[in-house]
Structure 1
Amino acid sequence: MATRMAIVLMLLMSAAPPLGAKTMAGPLRYDFYKSSCPKAEQVVRKTTQEIILKNATMGAALLNMFVYDCFIEGCDASPLLAVRDDADDFEVRWEYATLRAYDAVDEIKAAVEAVCPGVVSCADIIALAARDATSIAGGFTFAMPTGRRDSLTSVPYTYEDSMPGSLASLQFLIDKFATKGLDIEDMVVLFGAHSFGMSHCEDVDRRLYPTVDPTMNATYAAALKEVCPPHSWGALGPWINNNRVTDPNVLSNQYYNNVLTGQVLFKSDQALMSRNETAAKVAYYAANPLAWKVRFAAALVRMGNIKVLTGTQGEVRKRCNVTN
């Protein structure tokens, strides 16, 4: 069934001109490591499977790492260089606490290094692991171009600097994605990743207290209040599943049904219903799971081209958390 789905996706992606344009590799290329490390993608896939088998929530964490990496400084593995628990700046520590895939990426990198030392970049490992996590959690696969190199520096960031926050307005979201070369279609499609994964109570606090956001389903809000106490803002709070309606570890178009019924955590998610154009896309993907999978694959590939380092730029790190 997985092979059949892969073939269907490949046919659909090649048959639709607008979508085909979005799946181009840009400065990257497919099978970049075919000669230099022919087993690279196989090793990444195997190790990613083992990680997710041990902890199903790591599928979303690996995909999340890819999104953060590309949105911060470009897809260059710069977040892996950033200070972690020993950071002097509390805000930087707080922001990086939301990323849970550091150890997983290190594990995948070590497995690849054992086969091909100093060949495969950390940036490509993040991208390939995200592709494989999508395949494992979503049941569909696609080709991911490679050839990225790793940055030599890392810039501490905040959500305001790089990532659209949970309270962002629709126009802010559109503008933020546009700065990354991604359009409204890409944005709506990529938001489908919120069908799985985890967030903190902090992200939903202002929608629950002091009064419940009127766009939120009342029963859904009541259930959240049982988990998330008041005043979670700025304190992270307990982990909660992004999708509290169906299996929270499955990547699917369920997100769009959740938006339609007011059962999403973020104000920025529900904001998709505030404009006819985006609301129509939400309804379309809620009813068309295969179309969403095709578009999601294309959008991930397009996102993976954001400000990449190639050729002699940057380096290929031997260890992902330090430069050579």
Structure 2
Amino acid sequence: MGSFSLLFFTVFLSLVAASKLYNNGVSAEESADTGLMMNYYTDSCPQAEDVIREQVKLLYKRHKNTAFSWLRNIFHDCAVQSCDASLLLDSTRRSLSEKETDRSFGLRNFRYLDTIKEAVERECPGVVSCADILVLSARDGIVALGGPYIPLKTGRRDGRRSRAEVLEEYLPDHNESISGVLAKFEAIGIDTPGVVALLGAHSVGRTHCVKLVHRLYPEVDPALNPDHVEHMLHKCPDPIPNPKAVQYVRNDRGTPMILDNNYYRNVMEGKGLLQVDHQLYEDKRTRFFVKKMAKSQDYFFKEFARAITILSENNPLTGTKGEIRAVCNVANKHHL
């Protein structure tokens, strides 16, 4: 083989190898499926978690509400069949995206995950999945909100399609019965105290009026604390609010920006905004844990960390399954 032909062949093989790295997100040497593990990127991208953590801090400093979004992302992505960043995909001609469904109403700030992804890509192109970025940004967002640091495994890969058609089957609704909520989380291994702890995420953020006006109109739900009703009516003055309007009530007026156990005290006092919050204290299966978490923040944090860990490990794609997306909102086959 001539020198020119040999050079051409060598360059060709290099391009094929690079293509496989992004299309499959894994080289031949890395094809063994090790599953999720702590510090998965130690060799392939040792700065990955530091970059993500630093970006979360920077973004949170500029936009406090990003932390609420990162926390919601892990629920909305990982609870639906697989923790694979399917939530982040845009709609295509053939499929509606999960984030554009009614059940995902209020989800926002996806652009900040793109910012984190871009920073990681500058450090290690084609190595770190959007699924891991989604999970780790939630972990670091929890810390920013005053919650516990939760060591989480990495090694997830990204799904190639959205699952909008099955959201109703997997994601609990704010008006769903406690039995339904418990059953959906039990299906992925989260027990009753874990569910009660996860709902403690309602300690931060806000609830849009469209999700709670049914408790105010045409008549006020008698289960609501009368002292809290006046504030709710002031924030949600319309029986049929404009879904595009920024009308909402803070989940916790006392410590709205802090993930703490004040949520459980609010629930016990009839100040839970959503129907599921009210049921949490009324149902005998969950009342004990509400009381215990209201009394002990350490216990709340312990159960919250345990439940988040289980959620983050729900049926991940690992090894050669899925891909490492070049950008988080588009599968690689659609990315140009």
Aligned to 1:220: 228
1:141 to 142, 149, 162: 149
Aligned to 1:156: 164
SS at match of 1:107: helix
Most deviating of 60-69 and 177-186:
177-186
For the pair 1:301 / 2:309, whether they are aligned, the reply is yes
The C-alpha deviation readout for 1:60-94, integer Å capped at 9, x for no partner, is: 1111011100122311000111329xx98999454
Aligned to 1:129: 137
SS at match of 1:138: coil
The C-alpha deviation readout for 1:42-74, integer Å capped at 9, x for no partner, is: 000000111111111111111101110012231
In the alignment of these two chains, the number of paired residues is: 297
Most deviating of 294-303 and 242-251:
242-251
User: Distance between the aligned counterparts of 1:91 and 1:118, measured in 2?
Assistant: 24
Aligned to 2:7: none
Q: Residue 62 of structure 1 contacts residue 129 of structure 1 at CA under 8 Å; is this kept in 2?
A: yes
* Counterpart residue identity of residue 258, structure 2: V
User: Distance between the aligned counterparts of 1:162 and 1:231, measured in 2?
Assistant: 29
Q: Residue 70 of structure 1 contacts residue 76 of structure 1 at CA under 8 Å; is this kept in 2?
A: yes
User: Distance between the aligned counterparts of 1:301 and 1:243, measured in 2?
Assistant: 24
SS at match of 2:79: helix
Q: Residue 59 of structure 1 contacts residue 249 of structure 1 at CA under 8 Å; is this kept in 2?
A: no
User: Distance between the aligned counterparts of 2:51 and 2:84, measured in 1?
Assistant: 20
SS at match of 2:78: helix
Q: Residue 212 of structure 2 contacts residue 274 of structure 2 at CA under 8 Å; is this kept in 1?
A: yes
User: Distance between the aligned counterparts of 1:142 and 1:181, measured in 2?
Assistant: 18
Q: Residue 236 of structure 2 contacts residue 247 of structure 2 at CA under 8 Å; is this kept in 1?
A: no
Which runs of structure 1 show a deviation greater than 6 angstroms over 4 or more consecutive aligned residues?
Answer: 87-91
TM-score, normalised to structure 1, is: 0.86
Q: Residue 245 of structure 1 contacts residue 258 of structure 1 at CA under 8 Å; is this kept in 2?
A: no
Q: Cα offset for 1:175?
A: 1.3
Specify whether residues 291 and 28 from structure 1 end up closer, same or farther in structure 2 by C-alpha distance, changes over 3 A only. Answer: same
Q: Residue 105 of structure 1 contacts residue 125 of structure 1 at CA under 8 Å; is this kept in 2?
A: yes
Specify whether residues 178 and 315 from structure 1 end up closer, same or farther in structure 2 by C-alpha distance, changes over 3 A only. Answer: same
User: Distance between the aligned counterparts of 1:237 and 1:287, measured in 2?
Assistant: 37
Q: Residue 196 of structure 1 contacts residue 241 of structure 1 at CA under 8 Å; is this kept in 2?
A: no
Specify whether residues 44 and 295 from structure 1 end up closer, same or farther in structure 2 by C-alpha distance, changes over 3 A only. Answer: same
Q: Cα offset for 1:201?
A: 0.2
User: 1:23-42 counterparts in 2 under 5 A?
Assistant: 27-42=35-50
Aligned to 1:13: none
Aligned to 2:291: 283
Q: Residue 252 of structure 2 contacts residue 263 of structure 2 at CA under 8 Å; is this kept in 1?
A: no
Aligned to 1:198: 206
User: Distance between the aligned counterparts of 1:221 and 1:91, measured in 2?
Assistant: 31
Q: Which consecutive unaligned segments of at least 5 residues does structure 2 have?
A: 1-33
The C-alpha deviation readout for 1:222-252, integer Å capped at 9, x for no partner, is: 1111111333378365342442421311111
1:66 to 55, 74, 94: 74
Most deviating of 121-130 and 92-101:
92-101
Q: Which consecutive unaligned segments of at least 5 residues does structure 1 have?
A: 1-25
SS at match of 1:199: strand
User: Distance between the aligned counterparts of 2:194 and 2:122, measured in 1?
Assistant: 36
User: Distance between the aligned counterparts of 2:242 and 2:169, measured in 1?
Assistant: 17
Task: Decide which structure has the larger Cα Rg and report it.
Answer: 2
RMSD of Structure 2 on Structure 1 (CA)? 2.3
User: Distance between the aligned counterparts of 1:59 and 1:88, measured in 2?
Assistant: 26
1:171 to 179, 187, 190: 179
* Counterpart residue identity of residue 195, structure 1: S
Specify whether residues 73 and 277 from structure 1 end up closer, same or farther in structure 2 by C-alpha distance, changes over 3 A only. Answer: closer
% identical equivalent positions:
35
